[in-house]
Amino acid sequence: MAARVTSIVLLVVLATAMAPAFGQDTGSAISALSEDSLYVEAGADAVDEAAILSAISTADGHGVDLRVAVLAAGNAEQLASTIAAGLDAATVLVFTPTSFGAFSDTLSQGRLDDALGAAADELSGADVAAGVGAFADGLDPDQDSGGVSTGLVVVGIIGLLVVVGVGGRIWEVRTRDARQVRRRDRRRSELMDRTRSLADRVLELSDPVELADDGTLSKKYADAAARFDEAELAITEAKTMHELDTVEERLAQANSLLDEIRTGIQTAG
């Protein structure tokens, strides 16, 4: 008889000890979470409630009704399932000092698993707020199964296109500059040929102008020689097509004056 009484007492004690894990009262949590998004049980570890509420708001921004319970004891996975069953279409996170659990009757299993996977390190840590925050971030609908945001992928592609575009632009600019250099060198060479030809004309008319002893012709000759000297100096220093255009204008002016001088000499003769 004594043995039977002892066995009964042991069973009662064992059942009492196991009650928090398997028969814990979740009524208070369900009642509170039916009205609010966060429930912290009396006797539970202190948490950063403001940070948790901010994370819950983030989840709401991703279209997820997230409820969080912080309890003093129990099996978090079983408690999450029980609490979710007592709520109307919600995703529930439960934290105890030794475990965490999640249950959702609104999220697809894939999306729930992705969020849990993205927040695995934080959820297994001691900082409840960090765990909720990481879980909420993992609920981003743009996250793919590898946890990489498709938005980031798009940004990466855009970045690649920008790099390619910039590279193409640099190549285009360099090609254009090379063409400009070739055109400028070719133009300079042509103008140097014209300068040498004009130098022959200046020398050719030097004696006839002096013999004509005509003030007007002498002045025109001096002007033509000055234009020639300016062009000859500028042609070697020119770095742009515009500067070469100026050289060509001076050569044209000198050539026009020499034509007038030749005509004047012929008329006087």
d(CA 55, CA 50): 9
Going by their DSSP bridges, the two strands 91-96 and 99-104 should be labelled as antiparallel
Question: Encoding tokens for residue 74?
Answer: 């129990």
CB-count burial class (<10 Å; 0-12, 13-18, 19+) for 198: buried
Query: Computed over its alpha carbons, how large is the radius of gyration of the chain?
Result: 46
Fold of 2-138: Diaminopimelate Epimerase; Chain A, domain 1 (3.10.310)
pTM over 0.75: no
Q: Provide the residue ranges of all domains of the chain, joining segments of one domain with +.
A: 2-138, 151-268
Per-residue pLDDT of the chain (269 residues; tens, 9 = 90+): 444 434 443 444 444 444 444 446 788 999 999 999 999 999 999 999 999 999 999 999 999 999 999 999 989 999 998 999 898 778 999 999 998 899 998 888 888 888 898 888 889 888 999 999 999 999 987 655 444 444 555 556 666 666 656 565 565 556 666 777 788 888 888 888 888 888 898 899 889 888 888 889 899 899 988 988 888 888 888 888 788 888 888 889 988 999 998 898 888 76
CB-based contacts of 141-148 (< 8 A; 24+ apart in sequence): 141/62, 141/63, 141/111, 143/114, 143/115, 143/118, 145/110, 145/114, 147/114, 147/117, 147/118
